[in-house]
Amino acid sequence: MRIESYSLAKDGEKKLSANFRVREFACKDGSNTIFVCDELVQLLQNIRDHFNRPVTITSAYRTVTHNKKVGGSPKSQHLYGTAADIQVKDTPPEFVAQYVETLLPNTGGIGLYPKKSGRAKGWVHVDVRKAKARWKM
């Protein structure tokens, strides 16, 4: 597992894979530094290739301050650049989570946040931690 540090201003348009650029992993607080794990990029590219549909990253790297603001865990994988919350176009989060389970059967984190009333869309949290973690909200 290799975690790289990037600058949004300098590296934002840099391609990390066929379908993902550095800017997509940026913290939503507008900070310049972005940490991204190469295994996470590969996982997301595998998801994109499997469904053959765009994958939107709604949250990836987070600064400590932003993570607190959004109610993230103090030990969130987002803090290390090893996690992403995603939506696959026209694909229920449950289907995405089921597929990710085939990619990470004994490792990584998969959190399912299905569509609920009051929420426009559901999403899936994926991360590349070494231990296995699963949850549903």
Predicted confidence band of residue 122 (pLDDT cuts 50, 70, 90): very high
Alpha-helical segments (H) within the chain: 8-11, 38-51, 64-69, 93-103
Digit-coded pLDDT (tens) for 93-112? 999 999 999 999 999 999 99
Of 107, 118, 115, nearest in space to 82 by CA: 107
Predicted confidence band of residue 21 (pLDDT cuts 50, 70, 90): very high
Digit-coded pLDDT (tens) for 43-57? 999 999 999 999 999
Q: Which domain holds residue 73?
A: 3-136
Q: Which domain CATH number covers 83? A: 3.30.1380.10
Digit-coded pLDDT (tens) for 123-135? 999 999 999 999 9
| Structural domains in the chain (count) | 1
* Dihedrals phi, psi of 81, to nearest 5 degrees: 80, 20
Structure tokens at 48: 């994109």
Q: Per-residue pLDDT for 40 more than 60?
A: yes
- Length, in residues, of the chain: 137
Read off the pLDDT of each residue in 84-94 and give the average, rounded to a whole number.
96
pLDDT score recorded for residue 121 = 83
Rounded CA-CA distance 106/115 in Å is: 26
Residue found under tokens 């900070």: 31
The terminus-to-terminus CA distance of the chain in angstroms comes to 28
Q: Per-residue pLDDT for 15 more than 80?
A: yes
Characterize 52-61 residue by residue with b for buried, 16 or more Cβ atoms within 10 angstroms of its Cβ, and e for exposed.
Answer: eeebebebbb
Predicted confidence band of residue 119 (pLDDT cuts 50, 70, 90): low
